[in-house]
Structure 1
Amino acid sequence: MSSHTDEELLVENTKRFKKVPTLPAVIISACLCSAQIILAFVLPELCDKKGKECVLNSFSILIYTHGGHWAGILAIDQVLHLAHHKSRLGGYLEFYTKTKNIRRAPFYLVSAGNFVLMLIVIILHDLCDNDATCSHTFTKVDYLRGMITLESLVVICCNVSYIIILRDFNAKQSPPDVLRDDFATSIHLGGQIESIGAQQQDQIMEVMERQAELIRYLKDHSETLGRKILELTNQLALRERA
């Protein structure tokens, strides 16, 4: 009876499908990466040639812009996290699980890029600043340009993959996973676990991950209902006193 009542409340709160509005943020992320690639190739032409000197050399400017790029990706990651958290609370557990890694990948990649960038700066400073032979192979900007280009291209690929999944999810407008019979069936291993071989351990891990997300959802959902009940109880108490 209690579970039936909870399901009715959940249905009432999820009658209307709400799209995950993260497409603009992901597009901005891809644009930031594209801008980084453009700067990596344009700045040396604008600032490092004789007669075209800038206040700072292109190497320094690229380091500063990469720091700003990381801050932008961090802000976008927080926006995506908030939107997907709301979607998970709405019962869309499979979409949350499916996009969890690819959603966070750009932030981890750019953070790793910052670490590699720091190493590049230190190594080039120690080996090349006092060694004229470095200028005959690759310049410091060349190394930095290669790292930024590789990092940005991988992030753009992650963004494109995410956009494809997001558009498919928003277009289907499916009901919450917790209300779908096929999802409920998919999280039960039952007696099949003994017949599953070692080559299918990934399927077991996938089911266990879905079960973990369902437990998290039910916990958050129970806490939300508890807060609503407490608020209603307080309101009723105030009315009785009045």
Structure 2
Amino acid sequence: MDPKGPSAYTAGSSADIDRSLEEDSLVDGPLISADALHSAIRREFQAVPTPCHAALLSVLHIVYVVLSICVAVLCVLKFGQEEVCMSILGSMKGDSVIVFGKVCLWVLVLMFTGCVQHHHNRARSRGYLRFYRQTQGLKHTALTIHSAGNVLFLVLLATELSQTVRIYALLIILGLEFLVAVPCLVYYTVKVMQFNRARAAPDVSQEELSHNYSVTSVPTETGFRGASSLEEVVEKQADLIEYLKQHNTLLSKRLLNLTAQH
């Protein structure tokens, strides 16, 4: 019989007892309740504030079109209001005022597009990838339309046309631009308001709930089908991975704070 056997067994038993005592001391310590942890790590929904900006831009666009028509009719076509135009505009021509107003409106649209991009990026970082992709084309629609209108303005001003034909062409361009840009802004406003009203959880949470509480199992297919795109799938996965990394970092920080408080 090995004389070292009982002593080794006794040492191992004492080590196990010490380890169990340490674990018991950890268990007996202050624990974080599930409710407190859930309320701490749960992110409150943050609405996207761009509908107010889109409504204000639409109102400014309407005001600009109305004033441009008044200036064109009264000051350029001169329907008996020359003195009023001279007192308001001074030595500046009516068509020049319309062009300068168009430039100012384009700058406002550019600022609106940058603001929308900022808020949508924040929504994307919070996990609303589906909303980000659904409104990805709408974000730049107004800027594209107004930029196309500016190009038509430049082409029209470069042509040698009579003043009457030119001002009518300017009004036609403004009318077409208005009929396309404002409905797009209204549609964008409706989409964002629906998103804000739904106050949905991030996409990852919605997918987890759908998997946990689904009653019927739908057979899934592996691989790509006709409407699928490899680049789109890879981009979606990259967005999801980026969100999960940020979410895990935030959860780790909040867990450390809760542990320190308890």
Matched residue type, 2:241: L
Alignment CA distance shift 1:10-1:116 (3 Å): farther
Q: Gaps spanning 5+ residues in structure 1: where?
A: 1-8, 129-133, 231-242
Residue among 241, 246, 256 paired with 1:218: 241
| Cα displacement (A) at 1:173 | 0.8
Distance in 1, Cα, partners of 2:39 & 2:156: 54
Q: Which residue of 1 aligns with 2:176?
A: 150
| Cα displacement (A) at 1:117 | 1.1
Q: Gaps spanning 5+ residues in structure 2: where?
A: 1-36, 212-219, 254-262
Partner secondary structure for residue 137 of structure 2:
helix
> Identity percentage over the alignment?
19
Residue among 97, 105, 108 paired with 1:61: 97
Could you list the per-position Cα deviations for residues 100-143 of structure 1 after superposition, in whole angstroms to 9, with x for gaps in the alignment? 101210011111211121111101xxx22xxxxx46xx521111
Could you list the per-position Cα deviations for residues 57-90 of structure 1 after superposition, in whole angstroms to 9, with x for gaps in the alignment? 2211110000000100011111111110100000
For the pair 1:116 / 2:139, whether they are aligned, the reply is no
Could you list the per-position Cα deviations for residues 18-58 of structure 1 after superposition, in whole angstroms to 9, with x for gaps in the alignment? 11111111111211221221122111233232434332222
Matched residue type, 2:124: R
For the pair 1:140 / 2:140, whether they are aligned, the reply is no
Q: Tell whether the 8 Å contact from 1:93 to 1:214 is kept in structure 2 after alignment.
A: no
For the pair 1:74 / 2:110, whether they are aligned, the reply is yes
Distance in 2, Cα, partners of 1:13 & 1:47: 62
Q: Which residue of 1 aligns with 2:56?
A: 28
Q: Which residue of 1 aligns with 2:25?
A: none
Alignment CA distance shift 1:103-1:11 (3 Å): farther
Q: Tell whether the 8 Å contact from 1:117 to 1:144 is kept in structure 2 after alignment.
A: yes
Q: CA RMSD in A?
A: 3.3
Alignment CA distance shift 1:182-1:209 (3 Å): farther
Distance in 1, Cα, partners of 2:209 & 2:174: 41
Q: Which residue of 1 aligns with 2:33?
A: none
Residue among 207, 212, 220 paired with 1:181: 207
1:227-238 aligned within 5 A:
none
Distance in 2, Cα, partners of 1:210 & 1:44: 51
Q: Tell whether the 8 Å contact from 1:97 to 1:210 is kept in structure 2 after alignment.
A: no
Distance in 2, Cα, partners of 1:63 & 1:98: 34
Alignment CA distance shift 1:210-1:37 (3 Å): farther
Indicate the structure with greater helix content.
Answer: 1
For the pair 1:41 / 2:69, whether they are aligned, the reply is yes
Q: Which residue of 1 aligns with 2:125?
A: 89
| Cα displacement (A) at 1:217 | 4.4
Alignment CA distance shift 1:116-1:76 (3 Å): same
Distance in 2, Cα, partners of 1:183 & 1:19: 22
Matched residue type, 2:245: S
Q: Which residue of 2 aligns with 1:165?
A: 191
